[in-house]
Structure formats: structure tokens, C-alpha cells
Chains A and B, each alone.
Chain A
Amino acid sequence: MLLADDYAGLLTAWKRLLEPSYDVVGCVRDGRALLDAASTLAPDVVIADLSMPEVNGIDACRHIKHASPQTKVILVTAGGDQWVARAAFRAGASGFVLKHSAADDLPVAIHTALAGDTYCTPAVGLDALDVC
């Protein structure tokens, strides 16, 4: 797992949440660092905040998927709607999770992504079929 969020508190919380089940290979604080880490660490899953300095989550996702199509990208956002979610999936994301429900949704999303599927937080109201 490679985690990216400009908010350090969340990075720590996610790390704590995921470490029992997954190997967290890195935590970065901005989009540029994410792209660098992704290319060097070659993680299976990238969990990235949608809004990050330097390069935003969508662009980062597009680059990662372009460079390493097998890498799964789950985008996390503090506030997002179906339109953002659509954009995320169009950029190649495998999951779209709201931060405040991350404790419940993030494990599901990782699991779904690793299974080769896409997951969208139910609160966004986006039907999986709508993606792409």
C-alpha cells in the first residue's frame, strides 16, 4: 500500500487502520511525491487524497495508471459527489471513498480493487454501472 494525503493525521490513522492486514510501503504528502514513490515502490494499491498539492489525485491517478496499469488506485476525498466520482473512475481509479466513512469503506474498497473491481462509497449515490 502507498498512502498519499497532505494531512499527516489521516496518513497515520489510515496506516494504523490498514497495517494489521496490509503492508504499507510508503506515505507521501503531495501529488508529485506520490508519482515518484509509485514509480519506485511499485505498490499494488495506491490510496490517494483527491485534493493534493502539486498534482491532484485525478491527474496522479491518470499518470499512475498510464505508467503501471496493474496498480490499483483508490481515491479518497473529504467531500465529493457523483460527478467527481465519475471523473475519478474515468481517470482509472478502482475506488472512490469518502474520508469520513473510510474506516468502513476503505477495507471494502481495497478488497474490491484487488479483486479487479471498482468500489464507490454508497453515500455518493453512483451506480457502479454508471462508471466510465
Chain B
Amino acid sequence: MMAPHSLGMMALTRGRFTRRLLTIVTLCACLLVTLHGQNPTDTRSKRVLALHVVRRDSPGFDDTFRSVLRQALANRLDYYSEYIDLNRLGDPKYQTALSSYLRSRYVDDGFDLVIASGPAVVDFLNRDPSLFRDVPLVFTTRPDLTGGPHSTGIVSAVDLASTLSAALAARPNTKHVFVISGVAPFDRLYADLFRAQREPFAARVTFHDLAGLTLPELETRVRTLPTDSIIFYVSVSDDGAGHTVMPLDAVEPIARAANAPVFSWHEDALGHGVVGGRLHSSVKDAQETALIALRVLRGEKPEAIPVVTFDSYAYQFDWGQLQRWGIDEARLPAGSIIRYREPSFFDQYRGYVVAGVLVVSAQGLLIGGLLIQHHRRRRAEAALRQSEMRNSAMLRALPDLVFVIDRDGRFVDYHARDHKRLFVPADVFLGHTIREVMPGTLADTFMDALERAQTSDEPIVVEYDLPLDELRYFEARFVSTDNGRVLSVVRDVTESKRAVEINRALAGRIIVSQEQERQRIARELHDDLSQKIALLNLEVDQIADEVLADGHRARLEQVSSQIGEIAGDLSNLSHRLHPSRLQSLGLIESVRLLCSEISQRRQVDIQFSTTEVPNAVDPRVSLCLYRIAQEALHNVAKHSQARAASVEITRDGNDVHLQIADSGVGFDPVAIDHAGLGLVSMRERVGVLKGDLVINAFPGGGTRIGVRVPLIPSARDGQSPYKSV
């Protein structure tokens, strides 16, 4: 049987992880050793000779062991390694030559320690006890083969069954296990060991031994294995055709070519295409051995240190191979180590990722903030734009002129839908003051309004007219805005003013028309019916005189009396409809009578006076003046509360003047002007004769109404449709 030292043949570690682990473990070991009492006075370098059965290109054990010692001894180490060809060690000639070589090279060199790495080395030394007779020996071996009297070390059992068990658990459908091994003694040794340990599984799977095939043959063979197969790679050091190969060199192409997963038993194979298994670790063996070696180097007797039973196996698997064969990690034994796991992007660039995420987040926040700010600004701008559009639309819709005037009366800005409506062009008034631009009295009015608007919440309204292409009327409203500025909205009210005047004129004409119609009816009643009745009555009276019978005469007189009553009623009706007395009495007498009547009926002392006015004036003038006098005196009696009034009719050249004055409560002519049809009709009556009406009245101050009409109006003015009045 072969010993575990042969495992070193596969020691070709290449994983970064492994190296890092090794360094850490080494440092720990050094620390431990240091604490365990290095003799400070012993400054001589320790001389150590390590004998391996591994080749120089599989330095797992040797490198680890030397490294641990060097660290622990602070480089005071004189270290030698010799590599023994295991496959030739069975040859007595080789053994003799090797003994001779070692003796001649090392025996007298005063070594402090010899390391026997592997059972084959222990066996070799046991066969030649004189070699390194007095030098302490520390070994790594299998349980049933230990060293001589000055030796100690670790013993480790070979476990191949656990890998098989784990492989079958990982691939539960497996029916075939192909076992690959070479023909070298080491290969055979382990193939035999495996054959012994696989017995319990024979009932479950079929084992196929692929031993002694050349590497190309193996590669071909493993390409076409049945689908429910796995491969157990033992070791191939000699392919049976006389080619010595490195086990790790062999496993890689086989695993690459195979159509089934390859499992093995040594951790050095991991990373070379095998899925994994319960793997033996040369590095751990080396570390454990080194710890014991250090104790010996520090003076402990080897025989005083008990041999340690050490198990360096561990379940380890190659993540890439698990992926390749679709093996679920859950199917692996508990505590399995997964190697070569492809680090995720996050694992690889954790720092960058975190920093990147932070930067991106910060940028995101910044961008978010900017976006929010941008959005708010956009919204505010949109609102502003909307507001401006609304204002602009309102301005465009306004027929008015709008001026912005500062506190000094300077035109700052303006809006005009129609520039022709400006009093002067914009370049003439912009930047100039009201006083520079407007006519004198109007400028005073405007400046006054400006001043009042600055302290008033209500708009200040000014009405004025300007001689443009024709005389036009305006209404300016002054409203204070900001910074003492005043907004002046100017509206052309000419049309509405004219409309009001037209309305008034129309109302007046209606009154005149009504007057004329009444007059016509009154005339019909008076001149026709009354006359006929009078005639009728005359006839009745004459008949009554001629009738002799008393009874008939009395009845006729009764009829005459009734006719008289009808005539009286008609006369009254006629008079109410139209002052017929104007025709019978003339203007002066009619007005005088009017004054007398009202004085008596209304308890107002009305004084009438007249000069140089012919009683017979134009009927249009008579009616106009009489009606005005009638309306005015009616108002005096009804509203003025005056105790006295005066009426005066005078002549001034070709004009007649009528003046009615009282000392009563007066009235607001503007207020009355809008509602009083009486004053309207007065104005109209005067208007149609091309005369003037002046009303001087104010609350509490009495009333004075002055009328001027031409004595002889032109033929068409106020002409009645009837021949005379």
C-alpha cells in the first residue's frame, strides 16, 4: 500500500484564494510559534533537510512547509529539499544509489531536523536506519507506517469513498462510474485503495476501470460515456505506453473532453477541470507538520511529542464545474467549500459600485432637485405667461387707451389698440409730463386726479373733451398701481354721450308730438264740437222762446241747461288737453293767469312781470314759453317748498327771455337731468326753436331757470303739422 506522501505529486496549486489562505495560516502559525518560546539566545540557523516523494513541479507541501519554518524562525533557516522518484523507489538499485547520494551529500552536515514527507520516504529511511541516525525525524505518513525512535509527526488516512459518496449524491441518476488511473506504482496503489473503498457502492452503480490507457485514448473514451455516468479520477502518472505524465497535466484534457463530470480526491486537482469531492490538502499537512517540526527545532525531543492523527480532507467543489454540469449546490454535503465562484459584478467592484451608486444617487438627488426646481420654474413661468397672455388679451380686448403715469405726471408706458385715437403720437408724450403734453386746464385737472388717485382706493374719474378731427368726449379713470405709479384708462365716450343726447331729443320730440296731438284734439273739441253745441243750444233756446205751452217750454229750457253742462265739460276737457287760452289770451296774459291760478291754489306768492313783449308772439314761441312756465311753476309748487317765486318775460332784440326763480330747496341738476322728463321736455322745447335753457340750481340754494328763444323762429323750427296754434 502506498502512503499519503504521494499526494504531494498533485500539488500544483494555482488558485489565488489558496495562496492567500496559505499566507494567512502561515502568519498565524508563526505567531503561535513565536509565542511558544523561541530561545532568544539561539541565533544559529536551523538546518533542515526535507525529503519528498513529489516532483519539483508539484511544490505544494515543500513550499508551505519551508515558508512556515522561515517565518517562524525569522529567516534563520538553512533548508534543503530532495525529491525522490516514487515510481522508482521500489527498485533496490535506486534505493542504494539514493542512500549513497544522501549520505555523501548530507550526513555530516549536522542537520537539526529531517522531514519525511510521505509514507514512501518513511519506509525508505526505516530500511536504512544508519542514514541520519541521530537526527530528529518528523514525518507525514499513513497510520500503519511510522518512523524510528527519534521521530514524530502526523498520520493521515486515505479517504476516497467520501468523494464517491458525494459525487453520487450530486448526480443521483448515476449508473456508471468510470475510474481513471495510470500504471505507475502510485497510480496502482490508489486505484487499489479506491477499489477497496468503492465496494459498498457496487450494488448501486457499475464501475468501469479505465486503467493503462494513453492520454489520447482516455480523451476519446470519455467523450462518449453513457449519459448517466461520472468519472472518478484517481491518478495518471504513467499512461501504460511508457509515457510519464504529470497527474495534473493529465486531468485537465480528460476533464475538458469528458461528457460526464469528473470527481477526484486531492485539492490540487481542483481548478483543473474536476468538479470536486472530499479533497485531501497537502498544504494543511505541511502546516501541521511544520508546527511539530518547529517544536523539535526548538529543542523538544521528538519521542516526547506524540504522533498526531490528522485529517486534512474537506469537501471542496469548483463553482464553474458545478455550473457546467448543472449540479445544484443544495445537493452537496453540508459545509462544502465552493471555489472559484465567479464573483458577481458587485463582488468584483463593490467599492466602485458603492461609490458609483453614491455618486449616481447624489447626482440623482441633484438632478431631481434641479428637475423639481426646473418644473417649478416652468410652472411659474407658464403661470406668468398665462397671466401675461390674459393681461395682454384683456388689453387687446379693451377699446380704451391705457397710460402708465409716474408720480411726477410723466407718461411711462401706454397701450392703444388704435393709435389714431391718441391725442398726440406716442413719441411725443412718452417720457414727457402731463403738463408738457395736455392743454393747460386739462393738465391741471389730470394732475389733480393723479394726486387724488394715489391716496384713494376708488378710481378717480375725470370727464373731458378734446378737439380731435371733431370734438370728442372722454372719460379717464385714474387708479394707483405700484411705486406711486398711476394707471389711467381713457375711454372715448363720444358715441354714448351722443346716444344719450339723441335719446333725450327723442324723448323731447315724443313730448312735443304728444303736445301737438293733444292740441289737435283740444282744437277739435273746442272749435268744432263746442261751437256746434253752442249753436244747438242757441237753437233750443230760441225754440223755447217761441213755444207757448208752459210744459214744453220748461222742458226745452231743461234740455238747454243740460247742453250747457256738456259744453262746459267739453271746454274743461279741451283746456286740460291744451291751453286754448294761449290763442284767446296770448302769451303774456296766459302766463299772467297761470301765475295767478297757481298763487291762489298753492299758496305761493308768484310775482309776474314783463316788458316790451307783444302779446301776440309766434304760437310756437308762446306754447314753448307757456309750457316751460307751467312746468317750472308746477315744480315750484310741488317740490321747492318755496313761499315765493318770480316769473319774468322780457325781450332782448330778437329774443324773448323767460326766467323763473324761486327761493326753495333747489335740487341737483345732474341727478334730475337723468330722471326728470319735465326738464328734458323743457330742454327739447327750447332746442327745437334753437334757443337756450340754463338751469342754475343746487341743493338748498333755490332754483333759477332761464330760457332764451328767438321771437320769430325760422319757418321750419318746431313747426306743427297743423296750420296754427
Interface residues of A (CB under 8 A from B): 5-7, 9-10, 13-14, 16-17, 50-53, 55-59, 62, 77-81, 83-84, 86-87, 90-91, 98-104, 123
In the complex, the answer to whether B584 meets A77 with C-beta atoms within 8 Å is yes
Known contacts: A7-B531, A55-B616, A79-B526. The answer to whether A98 contacts B593 by CB under 8 A is: no
Q: Is B572 an interface residue (CB 8 A)?
A: yes
Q: Which of B711-725 contact A (CB under 8 A)?
A: 724
Closest residue of chain A to B522 (Cβ to Cβ) is: A79
Given contacts A10-B538, A79-B572, contact A58 B567 (CB under 8 A): no
Contacts A10-B531, A51-B527, A79-B526 given; indicate if A58 touches B564 (C-beta within 8 A).
no
Bound CA span A73–B584, Å: 14
B534 touches A83 (CB 8 A): no
Q: How far is the CA of A77 from the CA of B527 in the complex (A)?
A: 10
For the complex of A and B, the 7 pairs showing the least CB-CB separation, nearest first, are A79-B571, A103-B541, A99-B534, A78-B530, A100-B567, A50-B584, A7-B531
Residue of A6, A58, A81, A102 ringed by the most chain B CB atoms within 10 A: A58
In chain B, what residue has the closest Cβ to A58? B585
Q: Which of B527, B535, B567, B590 contacts A98 (CB 8 A)?
A: B567
With A10-B535, A17-B542 given, is the CB distance from A58 to B586 under 8 Å? Answer: yes
In chain B, positions 517-550 with a C-beta closer than 8 Å to chain A are: 526-527, 530-535, 537-542, 545
Is B36 on the interface with A (CB-CB < 8 A)? no
Other A-B pairs, 13, CB within 8 Å; known A9-B535, A80-B584: A7-B531, A10-B535, A59-B586, A78-B533, A79-B526, A79-B530, A81-B575, A86-B596, A87-B592, A100-B537, A102-B537, A102-B538, A104-B541
Residue ranges of B at the interface with A (Cβ–Cβ < 8 Å): 526-527, 530-535, 537-542, 545, 560, 563-564, 566-568, 570-572, 574-575, 580-581, 583-586, 589-590, 592-593, 596-597, 615-616, 724
> Whole-angstrom distance between the alpha carbons of A98 and B560 in the complex?
13
> Chain A residue with minimal CB distance to B589?
A87
B575 CB contacts on chain A under 8 angstroms: 79, 81
Which of chain A's residues have a CB closer than 8 A to the CB of B592?
Answer: 87
Give B186 Cβ to nearest chain A Cβ, in Å.
167
Considering the complex, give the chain B residue whose CB is closest to the CB of A16.
B542
Chain A residue nearest to B594 (CB atoms) is A83
Q: Chain B residues with Cβ under 8 A from A17's Cβ?
A: 538, 542
Chain B residues contacting A14 (CB-CB under 8 Å) are: 538
The DSSP consensus for interface residues of chain A is helix
Q: Output the least CB separation between A29 and chain B (Å).
A: 12
Q: Which of A79, A90, A91 is B570 in contact with, Cβ under 8 Å? A: A79
Give Cα distance in the complex from A91 to B584, angstroms.
12
With A56-B616, A58-B589, A98-B567 in contact, is A83–B526 under 8 Å at CB?
no
Q: How far is the CA of A5 from the CA of B539 in the complex (A)?
A: 17
The chain A residue sitting closest to B543, CB to CB, is A103
| Shortest CB distance A80–B (Å) | 7
Known: A17-B542, A53-B724. A123 touches B568 (CB 8 A): yes
- 27 residue pairs of the A-B complex, CB under 8 angstroms, read A7-B535, A9-B531, A50-B585, A51-B584, A56-B585, A56-B586, A56-B616, A58-B615, A78-B533, A78-B534, A78-B567, A78-B571, A79-B526, A79-B580, A80-B581, A80-B584, A83-B593, A86-B596, A87-B592, A91-B589, A98-B568, A99-B533, A102-B537, A102-B538, A103-B541, A103-B545, A103-B560
User: What chain B residues lie within 8 Å of A103 (beta carbons)?
Assistant: 537-538, 540-542, 545, 560
Name B568's contact: one of A50, A100, A104 (CB within 8 Å): A100
Bound-state CA distance A86–B585 (Å) is 10
**Judging by beta carbons under 8 Å apart, are A101 and B564 in contact?**
yes
Quote the shortest CB–CB distance from A49 to chain B (angstroms).
8
Collect the chain A residues with CB atoms within 8 Å of residue B597's CB.
Answer: 83
Measured between beta carbons, the chain B residues less than 8 angstroms from A100 are: 530, 533-534, 537, 563-564, 566-568
A2 CA / B566 CA spacing, docked (Å): 28
Question: What separation, in Å, do the CA atoms of A24 and B564 have in the docked complex?
Answer: 26
A16 to B542, CA, bound (A): 10
Bound-state Cα–Cα, A87 to B535, Å: 25
Q: Bound complex: CA of A55 vs CA of B617, how far in Å?
A: 10
User: Are B531 and A78 closer than 8 Å at their CB atoms?
Assistant: yes
Query: B164 → chain A, closest Cβ, in Å?
Result: 154
Nearest-Cβ distance from residue B106 to partner chain A, whole angstroms: 176
Q: Give every chain A residue within 8 A of B534 (Cβ-Cβ).
A: 10, 78, 98-100, 102
CA distance A99 to B563 in the complex (A): 11
In whole angstroms, what is the CA distance A91 to B586 when docked? 11
* Cβ contact within 8 Å between A59 and B596: no
Residue of A nearest to B541 (CB): A103
CB neighbours of B590 from chain A (8 A): 87
A120, chain B: closest CB distance, angstroms: 15
- A79 CA to B585 CA in the complex, in Å? 13
B538, B560, B564 pick with most chain A CB within 10 angstroms: B538
Q: Within the assembled complex, what's the spacing in Å between the Cα atoms of A26 and B152?
A: 192
Q: How far is the CA of A14 from the CA of B533 in the complex (A)?
A: 14
**Which residues on the B side are within 8 Å of A10 (C-beta)?**
531, 534-535, 538
Whether the pair A87, B537 counts as a contact (CB closer than 8 A) is no
Q: Are A99 and B583 in contact (CB under 8 A)?
A: no
The interface residues of chain B lying within 8 Å CB-to-CB of A90 are 589
* Max count, chain B CB within 10 A of own CB: residue among A5, A50, A62, A100: A100
A13 — which chain B residues lie within 8 A by C-beta? 535, 538-539
Shortest distance from the beta carbon of B677 to any chain A beta carbon, whole Å: 27
Across the interface, do A56 and B535 meet the contact criterion of CB distance under 8 Å? no
Q: Which residues of A contact B538 (CB under 8 A)?
A: 10, 13-14, 17, 99, 102-103
Contacting residues, chain A, for B566 (C-beta < 8 A): 100
A114 CB, nearest partner CB in chain B, Å: 21
CB distance from B503 to the nearest CB of A (A): 36
Complex Cα–Cα for A128 and B585 (A): 20
On whether the beta carbons of A56 and B531 are closer than 8 Å, the reply is no
Bound CA–CA A17/B593 (angstroms)? 33
Please indicate the chain A residues that have their CB under 8 angstroms from the CB of B583 in the complex.
51-52, 56
A91: chain B residues at CB < 8 Å are: 589
The residues of B that contact A56 with a CB separation of less than 8 Å are 583-586, 616
With A and B bound together, what is the CA distance between A9 and B532 in angstroms? Answer: 8
Residues of B within 8 A of A53 (CB): 724
A residues near B564, Cβ cutoff 8 Å: 98, 100-101, 123
Assuming the A-B contacts A59-B616, A100-B534, A102-B538, are A84 and B596 also in contact, with contact meaning beta carbons closer than 8 angstroms in the complex?
Answer: no
- Do B574 and A79 touch across chains, with their CB atoms under 8 A apart? yes
In Å, the complex CA distance between A121 and B187 comes to: 177
Closest chain A CB from B722 CB (angstroms): 12
